[in-house]
Amino acid sequence: MTAQTFDNVNLLNRSQAELDALYRRSPVGTIPEGDSQGTALFFPGSIVAKVLAFIIRLLIWQGKVFDREQSSLLNKVSLFRVQAIKAQVYPGESWLDGGEAIILDYSKTSFLAQKIRDEIREVSPGVYLGQAYWGRTRVLSFVLEF
């Protein structure tokens, strides 16, 4: 069996159940470094997912910039790709399945995003699948490509 490679287009075409299964069987990977391109996965597997992903990337969120040495990241937001909304980055326990994940924690670094907690795993070399939570409620999945 050969390993599959994934990218944002491939993952946009999968259902939420397929994304969850992929996330569960993926290794945690290493904490990433540098600039990533982000794709929000609202209603994955549908035509709406592609339209929303395009609009969100254009106007709201374009990805994250990781600083492994500082154990932190900044999101790229707005039409101008401003680097803002800081998170702490560390290994921890996944809320989706209890396994190991890379946690992106905004609780102590951002007033606006203090209720947000993300977690990511590497599903393909340089491609991370993430889960975003508001409190303990999962609100969406996302992809980061390095």
Average predicted confidence (pLDDT) for the chain: 94
**Residue 15 to residues 25, 30, 38, 98, 146: CA-CA distances in angstroms?**
16, 26, 18, 21, 23
Q: Is the pLDDT reported for residue 16 higher than 80?
A: yes
**Residue 121 to residues 24, 73, 111: CA-CA distances in angstroms?**
9, 16, 26
Q: Is the pLDDT reported for residue 52 higher than 90?
A: yes
Q: Read off the pLDDT of residues 77-97 as tens digits, 9 standing for 90 and up.
A: 999 999 999 999 999 999 999
CB-based contact 135:115 (threshold 8 Å): yes
Q: How confident is the model at residue 40 (pLDDT cuts 50, 70, 90)?
A: very high
pLDDT at 9: 67
pLDDT at 2: 42
Q: How confident is the model at residue 110 (pLDDT cuts 50, 70, 90)?
A: very high
Q: Read off the pLDDT of residues 114-144 as tens digits, 9 standing for 90 and up.
A: 999 999 999 999 999 999 999 999 999 999 9
User: Could you tell me what percent of the chain has a pLDDT over 70?
Assistant: 97
Q: Please give the model's pTM, rounded to 2 decimal places.
A: 0.94
| Continuous H helices in 32-140 | 47-59
